[in-house]
Chains A and B, each alone.
Chain A
Amino acid sequence: MIGEEVLFTGIREIGAHLRARRISAVDLAEMSLRRLETIGPRLGAVVTVTRERALAQAHRANQELLAGKDRGALHGIPYGAKDLLATKGIPTTWGAEPLRQQVFDLDATVVRRLEEAGAVLVGKLAMVELAGGLGYNNPDASFTGPGRTPWNPDHWSGGSSSGPGAAVAAGLVPFAIGSETSGSILSPAACCGVTGLRPTYGLVSRHGAMALSWTLDKLGPLARSADDCAIVLAAIAGPDPEDPTTGAIFPYEKPAKRGRPGRRFRIGVLKHATADTEPDVEARFREALLALRDVADLEEDVVLPDLPYREAVGVVIDAEGGAAFRDLIESGQVKKLADPADRVGGYAMLMTRAADYVDAMRVRAVVRTELDLLLSRYDAVVCPARNRLAPPIGRDFDPPAALAPDAPRPPAATQAGNLAGLPAIAVPIGFGRDRLPASLQLLGRAHSEETLVALAAAYQEMTDWHRHRPPVS
């Protein structure tokens, strides 16, 4: 008898049970639906449980398996989609009160591809309203309430893919699809202790996904392990005529093997990676580096080029987000948003000067060149995914620490990577105070996902942090 604990195992393990007929896709979907309905609301992780569609897909998956038709690793596997992915006939709210009734007449390309791969959509998952584009300043920034990490529900699940992070961590779904404009996959992966893979810009079609920033938005998986993320990425990546930025594919068939044939990995540890960092995060990060030395040569104090990453990302999001949500802002509908900062942020965004935006896009060309040069020397550079553990629910985020002008600052790897459209993977590395997870990110060159996954998988072969389960039932 297989119980709900199966949802905490990996995609390959679940698939093996399905193919051996130890469990049916319908039973699996029912388990996932039940957990979404009972545990999901307590974590602020769910917007819509897609029971009808899920059971229809699960029945089809069963029938196909019985008839000998196997669509591959995702056949019969339940998943959740961040509620900015269009799903035909099912509300797609973008996490925003004014859009609670929004329904599209199409499936996003990612949703369609997952259906073709046999996956079963069990729920639309919660998110920070409008993916945080209007400048939220509090975990309570969605009409579904604050997202809560299953490890300690008094703390945030990260954002803006708050539901995907919490739902995977709590075993509501084996994997979920999130989106990242500037940290929205890595942050919830870190706060929830799961693995999150941000693909290279353009690797995954954004057709049918809410646009916050057309030049920064990326869709990617959150799952228990790097191997699971890669399985999902292989299914959703690839050219799509509906998204002109796409073209490349991500072939992935076998689990990554520890190390690389013929040579070790080469990792650059970013200089000041743990500056202004919580002691527990720093301790876990140092332990993770020790483990990585088993499979990689580490070079310390690698300097991230001194460029205005945070500034450029901010200008681009303000300009593009202001245009993307112009109707909501100009009509005053933003006044219905949950976070007070989101109710006014859009008005300042609309005043972004065109020359500032174009200059930011010119700086991006410099950033792209400089980062490519740096990353050509390594398989990845590494730093904590977040320098702080998950913040508490119920109060505004802490403002950035007032550091002395000459004090070292942590590298802006998340902003840099997003600005240059580069892939990164966040993996759990242990726990700190209040049983909150810590995480590191590996940042690589464009289209280096295979290497990042191999590296992260090698780390996860040596550690078991990704297998820990939070105390939810």
Chain B
Amino acid sequence: MNRDRRAFLESLAVVPLVPGALGPQAAPAPAPDATSAGQEAVANALAEAVRRQFGAHLDESEIEAVKRQLLRNLERAERLRKAVRLQNADEPVARFEPVPPVSRGERR
């Protein structure tokens, strides 16, 4: 299952896992493109990922609905990034606690 998923991701030209592994016909990775056309291309690629993974559960009109939602989500993420200029040291709110709240082992 994992190998299938990885092989599938590698087949997408969006984010090559191994640079150069896609052969001579593969286009170079495009520069980040936040324009609507660029976002649409990413949405299309992600929708294709959905189709390949979950196509058995979705008809064409539903894939189109997913694609529209993906585009809205990408535009939303772009608005988020533009609204707040995060610095490298700005940490997320989630904090990992090394001690579990309910320990199943005894302290020695």
Contact = CB atoms under 8 A, between A and B. Distances in A.
Interface of A: 135, 215, 241-244, 306-308, 311-312, 314-315, 318, 329-330, 332, 334-335, 341, 343-345, 347-348, 350-353, 356, 358-366, 368
A359 B80 contact: yes
Given A330-B54, A344-B65, A356 B93 contact: no
Nearest to B51: A347
A359 B86 contact: yes
A334 B50 CA distance: 15
A359 B70 contact: no
Contact of A363 (B50, B70, B86): B86
A232 B25 CA distance: 66
Given A332-B54, A348-B50, A244 B84 contact: no
B63 to A, nearest CB: 8
Question: Chain B, interface size: which category?
Answer: 20 to 34
Contact of B49 (A332, A345, A351): A351
A446 B66 CA distance: 37
Contact of B50 (A318, A343, A351, A366): A351
B90 A347 contact: no
A312 B77 CA distance: 8
A351 B80 CA distance: 17
Contacts of A306: 83
Contacts of A243: 101
A347 B93 contact: no
B104 interface: no
25 contacts: A135-B69, A215-B93, A241-B101, A306-B83, A307-B83, A308-B83, A311-B76, A311-B77, A315-B76, A318-B73, A330-B54, A332-B57, A335-B57, A341-B65, A348-B46, A351-B46, A353-B77, A356-B77, A359-B86, A360-B80, A362-B90, A363-B83, A363-B84, A365-B90, A365-B91
Nearest to A421: B93
A356 B81 CA distance: 8
B21 interface: no
Contact of A347 (B58, B83, B102): B58
A308 B84 contact: yes
A244 to B, nearest CB: 4
Contact of B90 (A241, A351, A356, A366): A366
A350 B76 CA distance: 16
Nearest to A419: B93
B94 A308 contact: no
A307 B83 CA distance: 7
Contacts of A314: 73, 76
B77 A315 contact: yes
Contacts of B66: 344, 347-348
A173 B81 CA distance: 45
A89 B106 CA distance: 32
B56 interface: yes
Contact of A356 (B56, B80, B97): B80
Instruction: Output the residue of A243, A318, A344 with the most chain B CB within 10 A.
Output: A344
Nearest to B77: A356
Given A347-B58, A362-B92, A308 B69 contact: no
B6 interface: no
